[in-house]
Structure formats: structure tokens, C-alpha cells
Structure 1
Amino acid sequence: MKLKSINLKNIRTFKDEKIDLGTGTISATGDNGSGKTTIIESIGHALFGYDPEYRRGESIKLPNGQEYSPNVRNMFLRKGTKTGEIHINFEDDMGGDFLVVNKITSTAQEWEIYRNGMIKDQDPGKQGILNEVRNVLNIKDSYRGTLENYFSHIVTVLQGEIVDPFLKSQQKRKDYFDEILGISYYRDAERDFVHVKNYFSEILQSLREDIKELTGAVESLPEKRKNLQKRKKEIKNLQNKVDSLEDILEDLTKRKKKLDGLEKEINDLEKEKEKIITKINALQKQLEKAKERRNECEEARNLANKLKKDAKNYEKLEKELENIQTLLDKKNKLENKLGESKTQLREWECRADELKKKIRKRGLQRLQHFSNGRYLRYGKFKN
């Protein structure tokens, strides 16, 4: 994190002033009341949530005897003003440009944060700013202290705080520097590693005992060397025998490989033979079935030929049947016509009988007009 500038508006002694900050360690010097502490406290307040102990609301006794309990906002505002602003410009390790704006009134505070000229978060609140600063500073969660402690112990030292710890009592001075140096963590580490120390002490003692045993073994080393030479000769003779046996073994291994190959070929041929026998048996069965099917086909063929003849006869009979049916149809038509003719004939006979009766009746009526002479004249006609 690199602080670049701070702009204070209506903040205590500053009406509207921008202070450019250099690189490295910065020392603020000047007369009392010139605003050195204001600059440092403004940075601590806006970025780290740091407020000096004498500005945290403790009651102040005024000359007239009354007590006054200030708040942080009132202590930062320039006398006679109601609003003030703290603008802090800084860079992170990646070169990102940040601007934090802390707006202070007599009743509330607001924050704004910009990244590379673009507003990143409007009014993220105090905690949002603190989280952003932790990220920029790459402060891990393993750091147990607050950003206030980080600011007061690492970032800056306020006026009078350099010599203040040395003016404390011995016990308070010890407690103060133990906290800064993390002595308690070292004590805890020493206590936690006692068993490790004991473990390595036991290993060291065991190694010392092993050294004593090895020292005794070294004294008998010449005799062991003679035995070693003797053993080497025996090993050499055995090695020659082993080499000879290895040659024999190699020859036998080659023969065995050949035999294994022949055995494999025999097994493969046996399997092939079994397959061929199986195929032959299957083909014989198929041949028998084919013969049976052939006989069945012959029978079917004869039956088919017979059926052809029967089919021809059947067709011939069907044609004859059709002719007979045609004749029957004609017969039925003729019978129907004959029935109709008989009916008509009977009608005609009935009509003829009626006509005869009418004629006879008329004839009799006419005959009554003839005289007796005339009646005799026409007697033959009457008869």
C-alpha cells in the first residue's frame, strides 16, 4: 500500500488543503498546532478505524468546572463548521488507484470508495472500508489484532508515543513489548515443542548407544576382513558354478521354450481337430435333415402335380357349374315368364267367360223381340 495524498476539508486546522505524500518513511514536523497530528489521525480514522484515546468520548473538564463528553465527529470538524471531508488517495501493490472519501457531519459519517476513477462502493460503511483496506494490505485472517493496532504499531507513531512505553513501569513496559513482539506466541511454541525436544533427545541417546556398539565392532574388523577375503573366494567359486549352471539353465530354458511352443501348437491343433469334428458332425446332421427335406420335397412335388391336375379338373367343373348355373338362371326366368303367362291366360279366360256371358245375355234379349214365326225361322240359329 502506497499513500499518495490526503485532502482535508473543514478538518480541525485545515479549511481545504491537499498534502502530497512522498515515498518511504515520512516524518511530519512543524510548530505545535500546525496540523501534524491531524494528518496522521485523519489517515488512521478514515482507513483504519483508529481514534486516539483522548478523542474516544472521555469526559473533559472545562475551565468553568463543567464536564464535556465529545464524540469523534465533533473532534474532527473545524470549529464553526457542520460538515467536513477526508480524501485519501493510495495505490495497492498491483498499481490499482484508490480514493476513499470520509464525509463527516455532527451527527453521522459516510464513506465512498473509488477504484481507478470509478466508484466501487457508495457508502460501504466503516466496516466495508476496513475490509477493503485489509484486502489491499493483504492482511490474513491469522493476524489476530485489529486494524487500529496495525495502524498504531506498524503504520505510524503519533507524537509522544515513541517514548511513552519507555516511561512506563517495568511490568507494564514488559507487557507492552511482549504484546508487540508476540512473546506469548513464542512461549506457547516453546511449551508445545517440549515433547519434540524430548523426542529428539531420546533419539540422540539411542544414537550414542549405537555408536558404542559400532566402536566395539570396529575393533574386531581385521579378523572380519580375513573372513571377508575367504568368503569372497568362496563366493567367486560359487559364482563360477553359478555361471556354468546359468549357461545350462539358459540352454534348458531355450529347449523348454521350444517344447512349450510345440505343446502349444499341439494343443492348438487338437482344438482345431475338435472344431473340425464338431463341424463334420453338424454337417452330417444337416445332410440327414437335407435328405429328409429332399424326400419331403419329392412328396410335395408329386402332391403338387396331383393338385395341379385336380386344380384343372376343378376349374373345368367350375366352368361347367357356371354354365349349369346360367341355364338354371335362364330356366328360372322362363318359369317366371311362364307363371306370368299362365296368370295372364287365366285372366284372359276369365274375361272370355265374362264376354261369353254378356254375349249370351244380349242374344237372349234380342231373341225375345222376334215373333213366333220368326222364332221358328231362326230355330236353327237358336240351336
Structure 2
Amino acid sequence: MLLKSLKLNNIRSYNNQEIHFPAGSVLLSGDIGAGKSTILQSIEYSLFGSRHKTGEALLRNGENSGSIELNFMIDGKDVVIKRVLKRSTSTAPKESSDIRNAGNAKNEIKQAAGYIIIDGLKSELTPVELKSKVFELLQYPREMVSKSRDLIYRYTVYTPQEEMKQILQEDKDTRLDTLRKVFGIDKYKRVRENSSILVRYLRELNAQYSGEVLDLDEKIRQKTEFEQQKDALKEKLSLLEPILNSLKSRIEQKKNILQQLEQKLTELTLLRKNHAIIDTKINEKSLQQRNTLNEINLLDKSIALVEQKLKTIESELTTVEIAHYQQYLGKIKEIEQELQQKELSYQEFSTKHTKSKIESASLNARMQAIKERQLLLENKLNILPEKETKLAELKRLLGSKDEFAQKIIEQERQFNNSNVKIKELEVNKANSEKLKNQISQLNNCPVCKQEVSETHKHDVVTEEEGKIVNLINELSAVMEEREKLQNELANNKRHLESMQKQELLMQAINSELKALAEFAVEKATNSELLNALNAKINLLNPNIMQDKELLKHKEEVDQLRLLIKKINGYALRENEKNNLLNLINDKKSARLSLENTKHAIEAELKKLADDKKIAEEKLALNSEDEKQYAAERALLEQHYSQERMQELTVIALRKEAESIEKSILLLAKEIERKNNVKQKISKINELNNWLQEYFITLTEIMERHVMLKLYHEFNELFVRWFDILIEDETMSTRLDDEFTPIIEQNGYEISFENLSGGERTACALAYRLALNKTINDVMSRIKTKDLIILDEPTDGFSNEQLDKVRDVLEQLNMKQVIIVSHESKVESFVNSVVRIEKREHISCVV
């Protein structure tokens, strides 16, 4: 794989730029922040797509879309890959209650669909499909497509500057895991881990199965006991069944005898039922007869009581009272109307009298309150002359306040102008000092590049020193004047604050005078109101003095009420007397009707007594059949009881036999299942022993052999390139079994962290290049062997070490090497240089 060109549109600091990559060694040169690392990240992104927040970091700020297009050759095919980035705003909330959160919506950068062109044949693909196609072209392992990190590319083609030393600083387990993944042999570790999980699972399963078969012998013993119980129950049932059949035969014979007796008893039952009906009718008629006699007696007593009450009423009214009240019966309505008029007149007179009393009391209370208020107002108005004198004095003192305030404004303006002048002088002084220092250190003119003479520098410095002295003197005079002005301004402000306080006091006095004027008006108003209230009270006094007239009206109303009450009482007694006469007549009619009912009942009772006698004679003839039926029935019940006992015994034995049979079947299934489990335990133990004693050990041996083969090549390359980059006879290095660099100096081992910056970079570069070569040799099919990208590989190198880098690159024998470096010396041993500059925040190739 060889890179040809890269097009960047709205990618970080690049607006629209194309970078070409010739074959051989290429140096990307430029200042820090010019955009060199963006090119390397864009190459990786175009191949493998977004990794974590790479896409978000690549899209240029303020732009909604951007794209990266990479052109490269692989196996003679011309390939172009384009990936597109788009910025989208998250959807605003639909619910009205969430509208206030709409402002918090965040921009999200996503990959849009891209395309790949292979020898002119274009295919539109999704980001994932593009990555899968790139893995296919590069012959990278397919199982790594779903991984978030492209490890083979990172450790064979391009490792970012900050990650070069990371693998050496990680702990040994992390480093070994990374190397396993890179070399594609992490499957051995996964197989061991999975095997260990399977072993733990088999142990748990073995323990579970062993618990299930613990009671196998007990289950076999229980099954044997149940089979013996089943045989004993069968023998008992064979003895009980003949006895049960004999009982059933005797029961059938008794049932035939009882059937014949039941026909006779049916006739007896009908006779008894008829006899009972006659008894019921006799009882009902007797009860009816007693009730009728009781009702006649009650009516006689009731008639006597009513007649006695009638005599009492007649005795209460004398002939004189009757004559007296009868004359008013026709005039009762006229009397009631007169009472109504009297009551209305009394109510109006009483209301007017009470209202006058209440109003008079209210007016007196109001007058008392006004008098108290008048006394309070007189006390407050006594201070009015003193307040008017104070107000006049304050107006005189505050006459010049506005003129004084204007004077302070003018002084503040002069003070601000002094500050501006001081600032200008200080800036001019600083510029002169800066120019003086720059001229003193200047060797060549930045414009014409000619050498600056000492005479010219002396003249310029002397001129600037004169300016600085003048500026210092002027600055001192201005600062002295500003200080004097500041003191005057502070005194004037304090005096103005005093005048403002007096002005507030004057406003308060004005408010008090306004309130006192209102009090004077209120006092005059209250005097007029007191006179008006006094006149009203005098008008109300005649109404209050009429108590005797009110009492006379009340006596007339009470007399009329008593007369109406007595007339109504007489009318009620007359109505009661008439009602009692009507009641006596109704009760006498009811007694006559009850006498007729009594004679009819006596005739019916005589007929029912004759019918009862005939029924009793027939019952006496059939009583013997009933006794015989009772005896036979008792015997049959005895046979039934014996039969039920025998049947219950047989049923119980049969159920017990069925239960035992079910238990035997369940135990047989359980014993069969436990025997199967026992066989499983044997197989599990065999598999567990094979995994622990053979398989896991075998994977460790296989991994060790592969790692050993890799170790020899890796160690040899690492030592060779370390010795080239660091020519120090006292320092040597090697890799231990865990691929950790062991560095020794003068026979003493030193850690990676204690090396100098250049030595750490050399060690990391040697490790990186050795890892690259080893991976390319192991994975012979991958198509990135001819390309390597080095990001700042010479950080901290001396000039001698930079020369050694040339030798290392020649030994790599790569068709294309892309180097990012600030070292100008690197330009001397590369075939091409691509210079990057940033102009007005936009990176470009120059």
C-alpha cells in the first residue's frame, strides 16, 4: 500500500486542501499547530472511520459538514476512499412541558454514507461497510472489524507521538495482552480463560449432580418396601370381596319386602294427612270463635268508655258558657283581623322606639370619638410654627447646591483626563523601553536582512533614552497635578453629601407640614360634624320618651289573643262531642255483625267433629303394618351399615394400592434419572481431568512456542536498532520473557523512566520499529508492509542520533516513509518535503 494524495474539506484547520505523497521518504514540516497531526489522523480516519470522538474532533468548528478523500495504490489497484462528516442538532422535545429544555440541545457529529472507487468502479457504502471493505483490501484479520481500535495499523503503520512510549510504560500484563492482540495469538489466552470457566462450570455441575444422587440407595430401598406392601394389600382384598357380595344379596331381599309394605303405608299416610287437615280446620275455627268472642267483649268495653267520655264533656260546659261563646263563633274572623291590625300597629311603634334608642346611642359614641380626635389634632398642630422656621433655614443653605454639583462634575472630568494622559505616557515609555531593548539585541534588519551597525544602534538607543527621560518628567508632573485634583474632589464630594442629607431633611419637613395642613382641615371638618350630630340627637329624643303608649298597645293585643284562644277551645269540645256520638253508633253496628259470625262458626265446628271420628276409626285398622315396616326398615339399615363399612375398607385398600403403585412408578423414574446423572458425573470428571491435565497445559505450551519464536526476532531487531540509535558502550539493552526492555548501564539495571528524554525516545523508536518488522513478518498477507508513518520520532535527539535515524530508515527498506518532525536536519536525508503553514487560522501546503 502506497499513499498518493489526501483531500481535506472543512477538517480542523483545513478549509479545502489537497496533499500529495510521493514515493520514498517524505517529511511533513511545519510549526507547532500548523496542522501536521491532522493529516495523519485524517489518513487513519479515512481508512477505518470514527474511533471514539475522532469524528467530533476532526470537523471544523462552525461548519455543518466536511469530508476526507484518500487516494492510494494497493496490489496494482488505484483506490479512492471518501468519508463524510455531518453535524446535526438533536431533535427538540415534543412535549410542551419540555420546551424550556430545547435550548440545551447539543450538536452531534455523525458519519454519513461514503464511497470507495477501485480502478474506476465506484461503490456507495455505509461507514461500517467501508471499514469492512478496507480490511478486505489490507488483508487484515476479519475478526478485528468490530474492534474499536485498529491495532495492526497502529503498531505497523502509524503510532501517534503520545502513544510511542505508552506501551513501554504500561504494566507487563497490559503490554502482553496488547502484543497478543497485535500478533493475533490472543486466542490462546481466550481459550485458556474459556477453559477455566468451563472447568469451574463442570465442578459446579459435578457438585450439583453429586447432591442429586446421594439418596439413590435410599430410593431403591423405598421401592422394594412399596412393592412388598402392594402384594399384602392384594391378599386382603381377595378375602373381603366375597363378604361384600353376600351383604349385597341380603339387602336386595329386604328391599323387596319393604316395597310391599310401603304401598300399605302410603294409604296410611293419606289417612293421617286427612286426619291432620281436619284437626287443623277444627283448631282454626276454634281460634276464630275465641277471637270473635274477644272482639265482642272489647267492643262492649269500648262503647262504655266512649259513653263515659261523652258524659264528661257534656258536664264541663254550662248553659251560660255555651250561650256566651256561641255569640262569638260567627265573629271569629273579624276578631282575628282586629288582632292582626293591633299587632301590626304595636310592632311598628316598638320598632320605631327601639331604632331611635339605637341610633341615639350610636350618635353619642361617634361624637365621643370625634372629640378625642380633636384633642389629638390640637396637640399635633402646636409644632407647626417651629417646622416652618426650620424649613426656611434649610432653603437658604441649599440655594448653591446645583452650582456646587456642577463644579464636582468638571473636576471629575479633569481627573479622568489626567488618568488617560498618564496611561498614554506609560504606554509611550514602555514602547520606547521595548524598542531600546530590541535595538540593543538586533544583529540584522528584519526587512532588508542587512547587518545593523553599532553606531546606528547607539544613536537609536540614545534617542529613545532621551524620550524616556522626558516621558518620566511629564508623567511625574501629571501625576502630581492628578493627586492635587483628587484631594479637592474628595473634599467637595464630602460637602455635597452633607448638602444632600440636609435636602433629605428638608423633604421630610415638607412632608410633615403637608400632613399638619391636612390635620387643620380635618379639625375644622370635625367641628362641623359635631354640630350636625348634636342636632340629630335632639330630633330623636321625642321618640325615646313614649314608653307608656307602647305598654298600652301591648295590653290590647294580649286581651284579643286570650279571647280568640277561649273561642277556639269551645269549638274544639263541640267537635269532639259530635265525633264521640258517631263512634258509638259505628261500634254498635260492628258488634251486631260479630254476633252473626259467631253462630256460623259453631255450626262448622260440629260438622268437623263428625269427620274426625270417622278418620280415627280407619287409622286404628292399619297401625300394625306400620310397626312391621319399622322393624324391616331397621334391619335393612343395619345391612346397609355393614355394607358401607365393608365398601369403605375395600375402597381404602384399593386407594392405598393405587398410591403405592404411583409411588413405585415415581421411584422407578427417579432411580432411572439418578442413574443417568451418575453416568453424567463420570463423563464430567473425565472431561474435567482432560481439560486440566492436558488441554490447558497444551495451549500454554503452544502460546509459549509462538511467543518464543516472536521473542527472538523481536529482541534481535530491538537490540540492533537501539545500539544504532544510542552509541554508548556503557549502555546495553534486551527484552525479557515478558517483552519488557531491560536497560543496563555499567552493569547496573536502570528503569525506562530514569532515561534522558532523547534516550527514552530512542528506546521507544527501536521498540516501535522492531514491533513493526516482527508483525509484518508474522502476518505475511497484510498489505501495509511498504508504508510506515513516524510522528515526531526524534524528539530530544542529538545531532549524532539524527544521523543514525538515516541508517535505521535505510535498513527498514520501506517504499514509502512519512515523517513528521520539527528537526531541520531531517530534511537532508528524505526524498521529499511537504511544508505546512497556517495563515489566518487556515492550514495550507506551501
Same topology, TM > 0.5: no
More helix by share: 2
Q: How does the TM-score come out when normalised to structure 2?
A: 0.19
Greater gyration radius: 1
Q: How does the TM-score come out when normalised to structure 1?
A: 0.39
Bigger RCO (CA 8 Å, 6+ sep):
2
